[in-house]
Structure 1
Amino acid sequence: MRWASRTQFFASGFIFATWGVHIPTVKAHYGVTEAELGLAMLAAGFGALLGLTQASRWIGRHGARGAAGLSGTVYALLLAGLVAMPGYAALLTLLAAFGVVTSVFDVAINTEAAELELRNGQPLMSGMHGMFSLGGMAGAVTGSAALAAGLAPSSHLLVVAIVMACAIPLSAQWMLPRDATAFAAAGDGFRLPRGALVILGVLAALGLIAEGAIYDWSVLYLKQELGSPQQQAALAYASFSAAMAAARFSGDAMRARFEPAVLLRGSAFLAAASMTLVLLTDAPWQALVGLAGVGVGFANVVPILFAASARVPGVEPARGIAAVSAAAYLGFMAGPPVIGFLAEISSLTAALYLVVVFAVALAASARWAGPT
């Protein structure tokens, strides 16, 4: 069952990385500006918000296994349409649908991971999110290789869509049965976090706004701001994801050794310093090194905060994680369009300094992660 869940996280990261690699492709294909590209990402964000209002109800009805299998398959198939739409308006519609299924899939697999962690009585969440990052690295490297080999973007997207649309429902068959995960959301609509969960949700949102900005804009940053060819620029995503995966796979041991506030503060300062290096250098290879540092810094932010949400007094652990996950996911979807609009009125380099600001804010607020 753990490997079924790990496969889902890997597939989610692979699909998301494939989208990230082809953001410059989408920009060029539809002839849009940074602001229009940001609006397209915002359409995905609104779709995600709609999905979040229904995700817990659907998971309650069908279980994480059923919800992940269906939403993940649709998520994969929509990837093939990214450069096949007849125009910009159609792209907005596709990305809105993309956001709906992405959010449902994300909540479903995190609900499954939370239940597995509770059943096993040991940290598992960092490792699960490590599989997302590993999938992101694999997707970015594969995308870079496909571009270097001259494979048409539409062909690459179609191949990835077909493979992932087969892998997701197949692996979902080995996830926990419906009744095991339905309790976490059964009969509930979307619930905003309350009390201490509000603070944890805001911190998780800050972390994922910054993380989402790297996922969606780092490739374009290397290509547009540093003049890298796209196949080299695609390595920005790979560098970030590979370092994040490595840090997440060691994250459960780190969480057992250090107090959450100490680990969160050190991680956030590392992310801020590394992102500053990325934005100050003119050398692509130094930017890739810096992005790896950003990946290490942000790697365990979400696992730390999810674990803290499971310890809030008077709140069932799975419900605490679900509430903070929802707030974090909203941040993840909101970050890229915010960066796009700031880039339009200033520059992409200036806009990405928001990542530094949010990392410093996380470090300053680390005490809210609580003691071990």
Structure 2
Amino acid sequence: MTSITSNRTHRIAVSAFFFLFGFVFASWASRIPAIQFKLGLSETELGLVLFSLPVGLLVSLPISGWLVAKKGSKTVACIAAVIYGLGLVTLGLASTKFQLMAALFAFGLAGNMGNISFNTQAVNVEALYKRTIMASFHGVWSLAGFSGAALGTFMTGLGVVPTYHFLVVNAIAIAIFFAASRFLVTNDLKAKENAPLFVMPNKSFLTLGLIAFCSMLCEGAMFDWSGIYFKKVVMAKPSLVGAGYTAFMCTMAISRFVADYFTSRFGFKRVVQVSGLIIMSGLLIAVIFPTFYPSVAGFLLVGVGVSSIVPLVYSAAGKSKILSPGIALASVSTISFFGFLIGPPLIGVLAGISSLRLSFAVIAFMGLCVSILATMTKENY
């Protein structure tokens, strides 16, 4: 048996890897405008270039699950961490849009290898603790996002070019890697003997995937359209256009550190049901009362609602008795990832047909879908 001290060490090490990947990704996102200016990309060209990252992520989904099942999550997480940090530097060095596209594709591949492997590590640590702690790991990822964005703002203010900025971030990532990698869990949880490396999703996996799909569709909408909503619908002052996004991110990060407590007390099903209703309520408040303070309040609620859903779905999938955790997480991620891809363009299409407020009303319906789908899940996750 692993001692309590050792369990805590594993938890800190896995949290460090969540921080590493969140910090690196946020560092890249914080310098997109500088890289756009450096390469002279138009808005349309930038959109096409940025699409290379989710393509790499999508291609990586089945590969990542297979690698984790065959080689172990610790090995894959370590390899992905090294590639991810070096990939960030490559993004800063890109001098043409085709080089940037190739680098983003590789960045997406490594990012999803990390996503599947360190979430598998989190499932392993949950098994050691014998209680739900997945949301807290994702809370660390959110904090890393704030840290990476803050450093990016600082570097931009100093006039540091992205390449040098990314070299600093890579040095931090390397330090985290060497400090934490040896304390990752060595042996992953096992599924039943001779478990397949791929199966078509059964009803349980499909339901979990669809819950995450709806939640990530809402997340994608918040990430890409919250600023535009505050600019064009709320008519916020230029200095306050980012208030909705900031409100959403703050409550999402904070709520992830308390979500495990509520899950342990009330259960997976009830927490997800309530979370879906909170998402719907928050979006409807922003749609029905499109003024500054009600909209900020609505976006605060959306952050609370989406905070725990994906971590809890990952935790539930990782407990599968049919598939190994890596394959199970990859299966659910494959379904849920399309929500992240579909959300932003869906809002754009609906806004073009009708209005941005109608688009957000449709996204609110996804919150209701989360609650409905949660009633179809097993209680004993």
- Aligned partner of 2:333 in structure 1 is 326
- Aligned partner of 2:78 in structure 1 is 69
Q: Is the 8 A contact 1:17 1:237 kept in 2?
A: no
Give the aligned CA root-mean-square deviation in angstroms: 3.7
- Aligned partner of 2:122 in structure 1 is 113
Q: What's the CA shift for 1:250?
A: 0.8
In structure 2, distance between residues paired with 1:26 and 1:348: 29
Change (3 A) 1:18 1:344: farther
Matched pairs, number:
366
Change (3 A) 1:343 1:200: same
* CA deviations over 1:86-140 (Å, ceiling 9, x no partner): 3333322222111111111000001111111123211121111121122122223
**Aligned pairs for 1:99-248 within 5 A:** 99-148=108-157, 150-177=159-186, 180-181=187-188, 183=190, 189=197, 191-216=199-224, 218=226, 239-248=247-256
Q: Structure 2 counterpart of 1:69, which letter?
A: C
In structure 2, distance between residues paired with 1:41 and 1:340: 18
Matched, 1:16 2:22: no
- Aligned partner of 2:305 in structure 1 is 297
**Aligned pairs for 1:256-295 within 5 A:** 256-277=264-285, 281=290, 283=292, 290-295=298-303
What is the percent sequence identity of the aligned residues? 23
In structure 2, distance between residues paired with 1:90 and 1:337: 25
Matched, 1:338 2:345: yes
Change (3 A) 1:47 1:319: closer
Q: What's the CA shift for 1:166?
A: 3.4
In structure 1, distance between residues paired with 2:358 and 2:34: 22
- Aligned partner of 2:3 in structure 1 is none
In structure 1, distance between residues paired with 2:94 and 2:319: 46
Matched, 1:253 2:261: yes
TM-score scaled by structure 1? Answer: 0.81
Q: Structure 2 counterpart of 1:214, which letter?
A: M
Q: Is the 8 A contact 2:65 2:326 kept in 1?
A: no
Q: What's the CA shift for 1:24?
A: 4.4
Q: What's the CA shift for 1:299?
A: 0.7
- Higher alpha-carbon deviation: 188-197 or 119-128: 188-197
* CA deviations over 1:25-66 (Å, ceiling 9, x no partner): 455554333x55444343222211221221133223432122
Matched, 1:49 2:58: yes
Q: What's the CA shift for 1:5?
A: 0.2
Unaligned runs of 5+ in 1: none
Q: Is the 8 A contact 1:206 1:362 kept in 2?
A: yes
Instruction: Please state whether the residue corresponding to 2:132 is helix, strand or coil.
Output: coil
Q: What's the CA shift for 1:367?
A: 0.8
Change (3 A) 1:370 1:188: closer
Instruction: Please state whether the residue corresponding to 2:376 is helix, strand or coil.
Output: helix
Q: Structure 1 counterpart of 2:337, which letter?
A: L
Change (3 A) 1:305 1:47: same
Q: Structure 2 counterpart of 1:199, which letter?
A: T
Change (3 A) 1:175 1:166: same
Q: Is the 8 A contact 1:267 1:296 kept in 2?
A: yes
* CA deviations over 1:340-364 (Å, ceiling 9, x no partner): 8649957877766664342232133
Q: What's the CA shift for 1:149?
A: 5.1
Q: What's the CA shift for 1:215?
A: 3.7
Change (3 A) 1:14 1:218: farther
Q: Is the 8 A contact 2:135 2:311 kept in 1?
A: yes
Larger Rg belongs to? 2
Change (3 A) 1:112 1:100: same
Q: Is the 8 A contact 2:197 2:327 kept in 1?
A: no
Instruction: Please state whether the residue corresponding to 1:368 is helix, strand or coil.
Output: coil
Change (3 A) 1:324 1:74: same
